[in-house]
Structures are given as structure tokens and as C-alpha cells.
Amino acid sequence: MTIFALDSAGKTAGVCVFTDGKIVYESYLATGLTHSETLLALCDAAFKAAKLDISDVALFAACAGPGSFTGLRIGLAALKGLAFAHDTPCASVSTLEALAHSVPFDCTLGTALDARRGEVYCAAFRIKNGEVTRFLDDTAMSAANFAEKLCEFGENPICMGDGAHLVCQKSENVRLMPAEYRFGRANGICRAAEKMYKDGLCTSADELIPDYHRLSQAERERAEKMKNEVCK
């Protein structure tokens, strides 16, 4: 079974070709360029390098959220375009869970993305012998509260993601993931997607929608404006 995954949920971008549980090709880009500039080029390079045709792919996967609103839309739009050609099944993967599946060693793990205003999107997992067990569903809370909760799940927890440094600042007991692993890799999306496929949790391309976990800034500002107008 060949899985093709792409990652555009955060500041980095990446793609991975995963066949029968093994990484065939993977790329990771952290140049600061926008995903609209880089993602399709990464996909094209992956297909060429792996000598892969779209018809060879049994499952397409991408992070559906939380993450950058624009990045999520770009990634899912690209995935739809690839999957529509042969009506290939798709996996809409939690960004926080994909991070956990990219970790190659045993640990108690927190995954955290910067949600601004002192909060993080977060989840917690236990990784043992390659198996990922979830302790906490995807949610949003203050970095301080997540640091406290993470310590309840196990000793010397480690935290990764672009909000991990915010969590570690709030507790001396939470360790920061080494830089080379901190932002995850697209292979984590493949591993999470493979599990979703086995559990019957995949969808068609036209059913893919982003899961932002909160209103966008524009939507929040509009709601606040309407609230103020009603109060006048």
C-alpha cells in the first residue's frame, strides 16, 4: 500500500511517499517561503524521484488542523486535486497526532501549536515501541495549564511543535524536543493515516474540510463588531 502525504499546516512544508510501512521518499522545507510557492513543486519532485504515478497511490493524506488557516486550505486543496483523478481515498489527519507519529523514540509527549494570546492547541500521547496512545484529545488552553496537565501524564514529559517553547517556559519539568525533531515530518502524517485507514476512518476527497478549532481573526473581529452594534 502506497500513501502520499503532504504537510502545510505550519511554518514548514513537506511531502512523503510511504509504501508498506517504509519511507520511500521524504522532503522537508523550512525556507520561509509560502506554501503556495513551494508545495506543488515538492509534490512534483516526490512523484518524479519515487518514479510514482498518481494511480499508484492507494491513500492521500494531509493535516486538516489545527494550524495555519491559509496553510491548511492550501494543503487540502492540493490533496483534493491529486485524489480526484482516480477517486482515491483520503485521510484527514490531526496535525497534533501527526507530530506524535513522527517521533522515533519512547516518551510521554505533548504536542503544542502556538494559538496566540498565551494559548496553545495541544494534545498528549504516550509513545512506546512505535505505538502511539492518546491521553488528551485535541484542544486549546493556556500554555501554563497544558504544562501542568502534561506533567500529570508521566515523568519528564517532552514537548514538540511550534508552541512547545511556550509550554516549556511554564515548567522546568517539561523538556523541549531537540530542534531536529521539533516540527515533525510528513512521515508522521503517513503513519497516522495508515492507522486511520485500518480503522475505517478515511473519506473521499470532496469530504475533506479543514478543522481550524477556532474562528479566524476576521471572523472574530466581525463577531465583535456585530456584538457592539447590537449593544448600541
Domains of the chain (ranges; CATH) run 2-96+184-217 (3.30.420.40), 104-176 (3.30.420.40)
Query: For the whole model, what pTM was predicted?
Result: 0.90
- For 53-70, the pLDDT digits (tens) are 999 999 999 999 999 999
Mean pLDDT, the chain, as a whole number? 92
Indicate the pLDDT class of residue 32, thresholds 50, 70 and 90. Answer: confident
Backbone angles phi, psi at 207, to 5 degrees: -95, -5
- For 201-211, the pLDDT digits (tens) are 999 999 999 98
Instruction: Tell me the mean pLDDT in the region 73-94.
Output: 96
Instruction: Tell me the mean pLDDT in the region 126-132.
Output: 95
Give me the sign of the Cα torsion angle 13, 150, 174, 102: negative
Q: What is the pLDDT of residue 223?
A: 47
DSSP string, 147-207: HHHHHHH-SS-EEESTTHHHHHTT-TTSEEPPTTTTT--HHHHHHHHHHHHHTT--B-GGG
* 165: its cell numbers: 517553547
